Amino acid sequence: MKLEPVGFVRSNPPGGPAEVVIYEEFSEALDGIDGCGHIWVLFWMHRLGEGDRRTLKVHPMGDRNRPKQGVFSLRSPVRPNPIGLTRVRLLRRDGNVLVVQGLDALEGSPVLDIKPWIEGTEG
């Protein structure tokens, strides 16, 4: 189960919009995406260390006043497989670049997959 990056988050200024660059060799896989109002971006949370992958319980929102909870019940980036999942609005595709709004990912994050968001299915 080895992942291959298909692109990366080039920029994500506060307030957006953000730019997701898809590597040229995968650009063709974007054909037809213009019809999508929203898309899922799956990415690798690259700043996390090996220790974060072994941590199974954390304080919700980092708030030490709240008891620790299992990471599968939280959106914390700390988890065994640091895959980030963020739904964004697709503003436009410029060749191999997606311009999106609402990207919850750090600049430089490797992108793993793009999936269409289909209303009603929540998938």
The radius of gyration computed from the CA coordinates of the chain, to the nearest angstrom, equals 16
Q: Using the rule CB under 8 A, is 122 a contact of its own copies?
A: yes
For its own copies, the closer CB: 17 or 22: 22
Q: Using the rule CB under 8 A, is 120 a contact of its own copies?
A: no
The pairs formed by 44-48 with CB atoms below 8 angstroms and a separation of 24 or more are 44/3, 44/5, 44/82, 44/83, 44/84, 44/109, 44/110, 44/111, 44/112, 45/77, 45/82, 45/83, 45/84, 45/106, 45/109, 46/82, 46/106, 46/108, 46/109, 46/110, 47/106, 48/77, 48/78, 48/82
User: x/- site string to its own copies, residues 70 to 99, per CB under 8 A?
Assistant: xxxxxx---xxx-x-xxx------------
**Which residue of 15, 51, 120, 123 would you call a contact of its own copies, by CB under 8 A?**
123
Please list every residue from 34 through 73 that binds its own copies, using CB under 8 A.
35-36, 38-40, 42, 44, 53, 56-57, 68-73
Residues that bind its own copies (CB under 8 A): 1-6, 22, 26, 28-33, 35-36, 38-40, 42, 44, 53, 56-57, 68-75, 79-81, 83, 85-87, 104, 110, 112-118, 122-123
